[in-house]
Amino acid sequence: MARGGQNRSSAVMAQRAEAHDSLDDFPTPPWAGRALCQFLRGQLLQYLQLVDVREPAANRGHLVRVLAEHFREVIASDVHDYGAGFPLHDYLMPVQDEVRVAWTITNPPYRLAEGFIARALACSGVGVAMLVRTSFLEGAGRFTRLYDVTPPTHVLQFSERVVMHKGTLSEHGSTATSYAWVIWFKPHIGKPTQLHWIGTGARKRLTRAGDYPEDGMAVIEGVVALSADLQGKSPDGQRAPSDEGTLA
């Protein structure tokens, strides 16, 4: 690089960088979500089909669709209407009767990730998982505010690159940005953080037909809108028993 010139190396030029007021519109590849769910079921022995999950940055629904494959109920919303029909809701805006769920799982806007984590920890009875750039693990300020106070229980690092394109989902392309799932599993909080890897071949193994629709919108079944009837959940994310003594 010439002195005083721009560093145009591929590692620098391909970084995911957004303006401060950006929506950070980078849809999540479905295989990355399945890798997380596989870990939760296999390593943490979570019976996901018995509990609910919230996705507060639902975007076009690609991660929501994956969560619906594994969880009993998915509660989805976003601050912006991307055309998928999810309710509009600012996750960081306090509400009187906050929805409580078992898990909160999302790909948060990078600059708001700490706020998302704090709210998710307060509103999730079992656990929180955030898909973030691996560099999110760095930073003296972030360590002081977050990791030194409430360290994650597990870090799930991708060995393959998770390719995310701004404003669209595509199975093609490359990136210099690495990603990891950072997990707070509440029964394990206070124990040393465990580092795990999602091995090579996961992208091919976990990709399914229909993951990359031409119109960019995920086809989703079993997703619940954020609404008043979702209030009154117990801290473990299950509904209070009905008059018949069964779970609604």
Q: What's the pLDDT score for residue 98?
A: 77
Q: What's the pLDDT score for residue 235?
A: 39
* pTM score: 0.82
Taking only the tens of pLDDT, the chain with its 248 residues reads 344 443 444 343 345 454 445 578 999 999 999 999 999 999 998 899 999 999 999 999 999 999 999 999 999 999 999 988 999 999 999 776 778 999 999 999 999 999 999 999 999 999 999 999 999 999 999 999 999 999 999 999 999 999 998 888 888 888 999 999 999 999 999 999 999 999 999 999 999 999 988 766 665 555 665 543 333 344 344 433 322 222 22
Domains of the chain: 30-230 (3.40.50.150)
Q: What's the pLDDT score for residue 216?
A: 61
SS3 track for the chain: CCCCCCCCCHHHHCCCCCCCCCCCCCCCCHHHHHHHHHHHHHCCCCCHHHCEEEECCCCCCHHHHHHHHHCCEEEECECCCCCCCCCECCCCCCCCCCCCEEEEEECCCHHHHHHHHHHHHHHEEEEEEEEEEHHHHCCHHHHHHHHCCCCCCEEEEECCCCCCECCECCCCCCCCCCEEEEEEEHHHECECCEEEEECCCHHHHHCCCCCCCCCCCCCCCCEEECCHHHCCCCCCCCCCECCCCCEC
Q: What's the pLDDT score for residue 222?
A: 52
